[in-house]
């Protein structure tokens, strides 16, 4: 979904006019296979998806786990691709053959767009939880310090002339480099960016130079993909080398962070909410219903922050953010003001106001670390009961479904188990796992309601004054998929509707 300008629609050509197939071939050091006479044809952009290829593009045909990009060579050619770049020749397009197309794609896209990360201060954030919030804080800190800032996050990609809700946390390299080039073209001077472990493993950020790479935390998630915590950690750790980043910023509150900090080669700044010996630390933390106050201590002085976003976990995220920018020379007072000005991050501990006499929250918790960080806080806000609406998304780490149900029921009085986005899985089987965890946890009332809208109605129908209702798992992701059917469903909008409808019913 795109709002505002779509830079691709406005630009005749992304590469310069002399960006021909012959130049791309020379850059890759490989001959043109097929029609050698096409060398003078201009390549207007790069795209790795046949469904978004436009006339003049080079189609990067990637061998994936489900498809080989060349399975879609006819679609790419019909859409106007002038070249295929893959690990074997296309039968319908002139081709450049490279050993590992995914590994080649990042550096190629960066070169094609004129190495945009060299002209921007790029702040990367990696970790299991908190990347989105931290990236938003960095964006706000940079803006307050007078920078023109861009944001590349799973919730939003935005900058001057660019605002869209992306599908991935970290875009594939062609889109990433195009975005950075667009930012540069619009005068952006710095950029905050989420770097998922999938992105590192799939070379999506290869070719991007980082001023700062931040490590937030590592916990049990994505093990269906990485196989083990050690492999997951090793993937994240790849970003903390001198070849990748000038400065490493690492939260040592996390066990894996402490381990990483002990071994990193780039200039390293540590931060901690607990350990005053870290380079940057937080003190005097006071968490209330309207936000959290704390003082940050840095080698460049101290500053007071007043976070308006809810939840004690945001202290760690804000601390990581301020460490990143201060480590890169940003004024600490401006940074603190910027971070304190953030009023909310969509779908992250986001209050829903519908005139109800209880607290309603939408949060993107989708692993037990997130639950353990947030549910005790939400419990502390409740003068009555804590009602949790929970499910699990299909195609993601099935091993976490039972624990998700279990932890929810350990903290809540009522657990409503519903569907999230089953993708290609059987939603009933997903719910069965979450229910199994919830039912074995203890005394919470556990209710199953497959329909998400009805589940919200059920949760609010049970809520009374002083209770807290939290809807979890989707955050600000507006799409749900049942097999091939995608539909729009925004948790915040739907929860608000359920609340106002229920109040209307109570009045009439």
Ligand X SMILES: CC(=O)N[C@H]1[C@@H](OP(=O)(O)OP(=O)(O)OC[C@H]2O[C@@H](n3ccc(=O)[nH]c3=O)[C@H](O)[C@@H]2O)O[C@H](CO)[C@@H](O)[C@@H]1O[C@H](C)C(=O)N[C@@H](C)C(=O)N[C@H](CCC(=O)O)C(=O)O
Ligand Y SMILES: Nc1ncnc2c1ncn2[C@@H]1O[C@H](COP(=O)(O)OP(=O)(O)OP(=O)(O)O)[C@@H](O)[C@H]1O
Comparing CB distances to ligand X, the nearer of 20 and 126 is: 126
Comparing CB distances to ligand X, the nearer of 22 and 223 is: 223
Which residues, in sequence order, are CB contacts of 23 under 8 Å at separation 6+?
none
Residue 400 DSSP class: G
Does the annotation place 270 within a ligand binding site?
A: no
Stretch that binds ligand Y, among 27-35, 127-135, 174-182, 430-438 (CB under 6 A): 127-135
CB 310 within 8 A of CB 351: yes
What is the distance between the alpha carbons of residues 73 and 23, in angstroms, rounded to a whole number? 22
Helix segments in 247-362, DSSP class H = 255-263, 313-327, 332-340
Residues 76, 310, 369, 415: which binds ligand Y (CB under 6 A)? 369
CB burial string 99-128: b at 16+ within 10 A, e below: eebbebbbbbbbbbbbbbbeebbbbbbbbb
Does the annotation place 15 within a ligand binding site?
A: no
Maximum Cα–Cα distance across the chain: 76
Give least dist CB 129 to ligand Y, A.
Answer: 3
Comparing CB distances to ligand Y, the nearer of 50 and 196 is: 196
Residues 131, 204, 401, 452: which binds ligand Y (CB under 6 A)? 131
69 binds, among ligand Y, ligand X, none (CB under 5 to 8 A by kind): ligand X
394 binds, among ligand X, ligand Y, none (CB under 5 to 8 A by kind): none
Q: What are phi and psi of 381, to 5 degrees?
A: -75, -25
Does the annotation place 204 within a ligand binding site?
A: yes
Does the annotation place 290 within a ligand binding site?
A: no
Does the annotation place 134 within a ligand binding site?
A: no
Residues 158, 348, 431, 496: which binds ligand Y (CB under 6 A)? 348
Give least dist CB 506 to ligand X, A.
Answer: 38
Which residues, in sequence order, are CB contacts of 78 under 8 Å at separation 6+?
none
What is the distance between the alpha carbons of residues 482 and 480, in angstroms, rounded to a whole number? 7
Does the annotation place 169 within a ligand binding site?
A: yes
Does the annotation place 131 within a ligand binding site?
A: yes
357 binds, among ligand Y, ligand X, none (CB under 5 to 8 A by kind): none
Binding flag, residue 133, ligand Y (CB under 6 A): yes
Report CA Rg, the chain: 24
CB burial string 212-241: b at 16+ within 10 A, e below: bbbbbbbbebbeebbeeeeebbebbbebbe
What is the distance between the alpha carbons of residues 280 and 214, in angstroms, rounded to a whole number? 13
Does the annotation place 196 within a ligand binding site?
A: yes
317 binds, among ligand X, ligand Y, none (CB under 5 to 8 A by kind): ligand Y
Structure tokens at 189: 């001077």
DSSP secondary structure string for all residues of 230-254: HHHHHHHHTTSSTTTEEEEEEETTS
Binding flag, residue 213, ligand Y (CB under 6 A): no
247 binds, among ligand X, ligand Y, none (CB under 5 to 8 A by kind): none
Give least dist CB 468 to ligand Y, A.
Answer: 14
Contact positions vs ligand X (CB under 6 A): 48-51, 62, 64-67, 69, 72, 168-170, 172, 196, 198-199, 225
Residues contributing to the site for ligand Y (CB under 6 A): 127, 129-133, 154, 169, 194, 196, 216-217, 313, 316-317, 348, 363-365, 369-370, 373-374, 475
Binding residues: 50, 127-133, 169-170, 196, 202, 204
Binding residues for ATP: 127-133
């Amino acid at each position: 979904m795109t709002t505002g300008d779509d830079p691709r629609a406005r630009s005749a050509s992304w590469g310069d006019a002399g960006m021909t197939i012959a130049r791309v071939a020379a850059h890759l050091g490989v001959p043109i296979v097929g029609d050698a006479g096409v060398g003078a044809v201009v390549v207007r952009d790069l795209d790795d998806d046949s469904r978004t290829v436009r006339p003049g593009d080079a189609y990067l045909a990637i061998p994936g786990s489900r498809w080989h990009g060349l399975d879609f060579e006819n679609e790419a050619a019909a859409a106007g691709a002038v070249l295929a770049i893959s690990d074997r020749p296309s039968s319908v397009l002139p081709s450049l053959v490279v050993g590992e197309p995914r590994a080649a794609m990042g550096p190629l896209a960066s070169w094609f767009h004129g190495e945009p990360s060299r002209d921007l201060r790029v702040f990367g954030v990696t970790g299991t939880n908190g990347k989105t919030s931290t990236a938003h804080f960095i964006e706000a800190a940079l803006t307050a310090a007078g920078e023109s800032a861009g944001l590349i996050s799973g919730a939003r990609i935005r900058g001057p002339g660019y605002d869209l809700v992306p599908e991935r946390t970290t875009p594939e390299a062609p889109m990433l480099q195009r975005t950075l080039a667009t930012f540069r073209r619009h005068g952006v001077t710095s950029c905050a960016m989420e770097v998922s472990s999938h992105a590192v493993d799939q070379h999506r950020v290869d070719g991007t130079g980082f001023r700062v790479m931040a490590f937030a935390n590592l916990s049990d998630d994505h093990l269906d993909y990485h196989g083990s915590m050690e492999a997951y950690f090793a993937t994240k750790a790849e970003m903390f080398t001198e070849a990748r980043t000038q400065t490493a910023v690492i939260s040592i509150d996390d066990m894996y962070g402490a381990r990483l900090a002990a071994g990193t080669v780039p200039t390293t700044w540590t931060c901690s909410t607990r350990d005053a010996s870290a380079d940057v630390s937080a003190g005097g933390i006071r968490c209330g219903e309207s936000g959290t106050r704390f003082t940050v201590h840095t080698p460049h002085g101290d500053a007071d922050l007043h976070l308006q976003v809810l939840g004690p976990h945001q202290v760690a995220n804000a601390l990581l953010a301020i460490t990143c920018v201060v480590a890169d020379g940003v004024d600490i007072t401006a940074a603190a003001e910027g971070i304190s000005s953030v009023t909310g991050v969509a779908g992250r501990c986001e209050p829903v106001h519908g005139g109800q006499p209880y607290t309603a929250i939408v949060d993107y918790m989708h692993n037990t670390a997130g639950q353990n960080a947030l549910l005790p806080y939400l419990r502390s806000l409740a003068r009555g009961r804590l009602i949790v609406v929970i499910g699990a998304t299909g195609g993601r780490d099935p091993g976490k479904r039972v624990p998700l149900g279990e932890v929810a029921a350990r903290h809540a009085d009522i657990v409503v188990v519903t569907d999230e986005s089953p993708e290609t899985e059987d939603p009933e089987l997903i719910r069965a796992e979450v229910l199994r965890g919830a039912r074995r946890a203890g005394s919470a009332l556990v209710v199953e309601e497959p329909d998400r809208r009805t589940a919200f109605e059920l949760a609010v129908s049970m809520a009374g004054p002083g209770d807290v209702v939290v809807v979890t798992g989707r955050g600000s992701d507006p799409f749900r998929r049942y097999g091939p059917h995608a539909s729009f469903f925004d948790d915040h909008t739907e929860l608000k509707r359920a609340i106002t409808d229920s109040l209307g019913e109570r009045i009439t």
